Amino acid sequence: MDGECLCGGVKFKIEGNIPNLYQCHCSLCRKATGSSANAATFVEQENFRWVSGQDKISSFQKPTGYRSDFCSVCGSPVPNQIRGMELLWVPAGLMEESFKAAVTVHLHMGSAASWERDAGECISFDAGPESLAALKNAINRT
């Protein structure tokens, strides 16, 4: 399985099956992704290989130990090694191909954003709406 950041500058490869995913809804993950949660998995170091772009990776670490690695060109979060373990944290959205893993765990639901709700209650489009006006109308529908 191949993975890469938004600009394609950081690339990696994972051998074998992708493990199931988790979503973390804590405030740190919301801020790091700009979304309601991050979706990620852990991959054994022996099954992970950088292809290119390691020189483009920057890191941010809080005094508490929370670490975020990202592409310094496009800002995409990128895999990073878990402290003291032979595991890498891998953001699911970087995968280039479809895979069979599913989200099986939700973390920190007690601190999930108040505006987050089940997608089943939302208006859905198979692709982007035909216009920005259509999106605005869908967003403003109550």
Tokens of 64: 């508490």
Q: Is the pLDDT higher at 121 or at 91?
A: 91
Average pLDDT over residues 101-119: 85
pLDDT exceeds 80 at position 99: yes
pLDDT exceeds 90 at position 138: no
Distance CA 33, CA 64 (A): 19
Flag whether 42 is in a domain: yes
pLDDT exceeds 60 at position 68: yes
Q: Is the pLDDT higher at 120 or at 36?
A: 36
Paired strand residues for 59:
69
pLDDT exceeds 90 at position 87: yes
Instruction: Say which CATH number the domain at 74 has.
Output: 2.170.150.70
Flag whether 88 is in a domain: yes
Flag whether 123 is in a domain: no
pLDDT exceeds 60 at position 86: yes
Q: What is the DSSP pairing of strand 21-24 with strand 103-107?
A: parallel
* pTM of the predicted protein model: 0.85
Flag whether 7 is in a domain: yes
Flag whether 84 is in a domain: yes
CA-based nearest residue to 90, from 36, 56, 61, 50: 50
Q: What is the pLDDT of residue 118?
A: 66
pLDDT band at 120 (very low <50, low <70, confident <90, very high): low
Distance CA 11, CA 95 (A): 10
Q: Residue 59: give the domain boundaries.
A: 2-114
- Listed in sequence order, the residues at least 6 apart from 85 whose beta carbon sits closer than 8 Å to its beta carbon are none
| Domains in the chain, number | 1
Flag whether 53 is in a domain: yes
